[in-house]
Amino acid sequence: MQLYNNLSAKERAKLIEEAGKDRLTISFYKYAKIGNPEIFRNHMFLAWDELEVLGRIYVANEGINAQLSVPAENFNAFKNHLDTITFLENVRLNIAVEQDNFSFLKLKVKVRSKILADGLNDATFDVTNKGEHVNAERFNELIEDPNTVLVDMRNHYETEIGHFKNAITPDVDTFRESLPIIEDDLKEHKEDKNLVMYCTGGIRCEKASAYYKHRGFKNVFQLEGGIINYVHQVNEEGLDNKFIGKNFVFDDRRAERISDDIIAQCHQCGKPADTHTNCANEACHLLFIQCDDCKEKMENCCSSTCQEIIQLPYEEQKALRRGQGNSNDIFKKGRADYLPYKKDLRNIFDTLGKNA
């Protein structure tokens, strides 16, 4: 029974290119009680590997979180397989706004303690007791209501390149950081404000909506299907698009352009830019924003030190990496001290409801 990838990412990319067939980038999640995640994981891997599905999927006792790429010609077979699983029947599938045949190059189905790390240890918290889901039209109405507080449940490097107008964008590195910060800053408004949340595809704000209901917030809403589904609805129904900039995504595309607005700046020169780069030095791989001019000048590197390292023979680079752990800088994602135009820290709750 094969439960691993036979091909490397490079080999898979070559096969995809040679096949010349379109693939669909899809994401979905479902909170549900899975008794044996290991058995469920093995079943999913075997079924999806046969359909040439690639992607990154997490399975846990609390459900499944999947970002993947499937051959367009196998989409119906993929959907039919999902429908054979009781809690995944008719699950909402978020189809990417912008397609890329190389968004994923391996199939990875991993068992985790949770599909979304939240830092919570509360046996009374029921993640399925979620807030009210709203579609794009209702979402637009709610966020125009002066009695609404709109909160972006994503991390700082995501909101830096794009967010909804007038959204509060917590300056956090992880989802788990945002939960207590938001609760503390909005504790005086548990009953008198509409708490409206959104994220990329819905998984973060769904758990957050259940958490804030658990903590006593009365009027809790979340954008159904997140930004991805919102954009499809806006385009299909001719609604006003309230999102500005790019939507950060967790595959090799890194972002989808939603509006023509560029709201971020190059972390190296300060010019308007909203394209993320992973530093070319394999010992670094810092994620940061880089304009085309700096990309060419710095050879996809975040610093002159990394630029010097990538000029060395590959074996010398490997020797330098040997025994070295990841630098804490990579977890800062654009906040490394040596980036002169990194995003400034600020108190995003100083003025409730104003654009962060």
Q: Tell whether 123 is covered by a domain.
A: no
Q: Is the alpha carbon torsion for 5, 63, 211, 163 positive or negative?
A: positive
Q: Tell whether 61 is covered by a domain.
A: yes
Q: How many domains does the chain have?
A: 2
Q: Tell whether 289 is covered by a domain.
A: yes
pLDDT tens sequence across 105-117: 999 999 999 999 8
Instruction: Please give the model's pTM, rounded to 2 decimal places.
Output: 0.82
Q: Tell whether 102 is covered by a domain.
A: yes
Torsion region of 331: left, alpha or beta (phi above 0 gives left; psi -120 to 50 gives alpha): alpha
Residue that is last in its domain, among 111, 135, 150: 111
Q: Tell whether 169 is covered by a domain.
A: no
pLDDT bin (cut points 50, 70, 90) of residue 351 is: very low
279 is annotated as an active-site residue:
no
Residues of the chain by 3-state class (helix, strand, coil), percent to 5: 30, 20, 50
Q: Tell whether 268 is covered by a domain.
A: no
SS3 277: strand
Q: Tell whether 163 is covered by a domain.
A: no
Percentage of the residues of the chain whose pLDDT score is greater than 90: 77
- Among residues 199, 205, 266, 302, the one annotated as catalytic is 199
Helices (H), the chain: 9-19, 37-50, 75-83, 136-143, 156-159, 175-185, 203-214, 226-237, 292-298, 304-309, 314-321
237 against 5, higher pLDDT:
237
| Domain, as residue range, for 314 | 276-331
Q: Is the pLDDT of residue 152 over 90?
A: yes
Residue that is last in its domain, among 111, 126, 154: 111
41 against 5, higher pLDDT:
41
Average pLDDT over residues 281-292: 93
Separation between Cα atoms, residue 66 and residue 16, nearest integer Å: 21
Q: Tell me, what's the pLDDT at 135?
A: 98
Closest CA to 165 of 258, 234, 244, 256: 244
Sheet strands side by side (includes 132-134): 132-134, 220-223, 194-198, 148-152
pLDDT tens sequence across 153-207: 999 999 999 999 999 999 898 899 999 999 999 999 999 999 999 999 999 999 9
Kindly report the number of other CB atoms within 10 A of residue 182's CB atom.
Answer: 25
Q: Tell whether 308 is covered by a domain.
A: yes
CATH of the domain at 88: 3.30.70.100
Q: Tell me, what's the pLDDT at 215?
A: 95
pLDDT tens sequence across 195-251: 999 999 999 999 999 999 999 999 999 999 999 999 999 999 999 999 999 999 988
Q: Is the alpha carbon torsion for 76, 82, 87, 91 positive or negative?
A: negative
